[in-house]
Structure 1
Amino acid sequence: MSVPEANCPSPLEQQKSEHRALAVLRMLGREPSYASNEEIVGCYFTRLGLACPRAQVRECLAMLERPGLIEVSTVEMLSVIRLTAKGDEVGKGLVVVEGVLRPGVDCPY
């Protein structure tokens, strides 16, 4: 039985999702506290041409939290995210995780 096309992300959306995941990890790696929040992440996506609804920002963060690349906590209805050591390794391209684009030599993020 085949999965309806409506439930499958388009190849372009899949690629954007992988770029967003890498962008989050690289952004957090440059923060002095290795932390930020979902509001800042959403603004960063917009600056990079990867704008998406808040629900998609949260999906991206949940996808990064599942394999332990980030830790997510909630403070007054806002998701606060912190980079983990594994997430830093993925952001640097030392470890490959499905769903996260591997950075190239001249990665713009």
Structure 2
Amino acid sequence: MIANHTDEIRQGLSAHRALTILQLLDGPLRGGTNERLLTALFEMIQLRTSRAELRSILDFLESEGAISTTVVEGLTVIVLKYHGHEIATGLVSIEGIEKPKPDASYLE
């Protein structure tokens, strides 16, 4: 049964990861981080992802104007933009990014 919904599951996880990145940036990461730290945080909260998938989500968020990325000495630096704050807090809804729930724990 689950095999019939693999694409839906993958899309749902990707949308959840995208929101998580924005909420982490909007909350405890205070607007910026790097790809290595983000990968480590995903592992800590049991939201493991491959580097390729994380890169794909970051590219999507950047194309939506939610974040900006810069490569500094081989390390991708990620900065939250105001539009990303709007998405993270539910002021704006974007297809492909999960809508935040009122009890979102990443904002604290």
Coarse TM-score class (shorter-chain normalised): 0.7 to 0.9
**Paired letter, 2:59:** A
Q: RCO (CA 8 Å, sep 6+): is it higher in 1 or 2?
A: 2
Which TM-score applies when normalising by structure 2? 0.86
Cα shift at 1:48? 2.2
SS in 2 for 1:63: helix
Residue 57 in 1 paired to residue 54 in 2?
Answer: yes
5+ residue gaps, structure 1: 1-8
Runs of 4+ residues deviating >6 angstroms: none
Structure with the bigger percentage of helix: 2
User: 2 CA distance for matches of 1:88 and 1:24?
Assistant: 11
Structure 1 vs Structure 2 CA RMSD:
1.2
Cα shift at 1:50? 1.6
Conserved? CA contact 1:22–1:100, under 8 Å: yes
Percent identical residues:
36
5+ residue gaps, structure 2: 1-5
Q: Which residue of 1 aligns with 2:63?
A: 66
SS in 2 for 1:101: coil
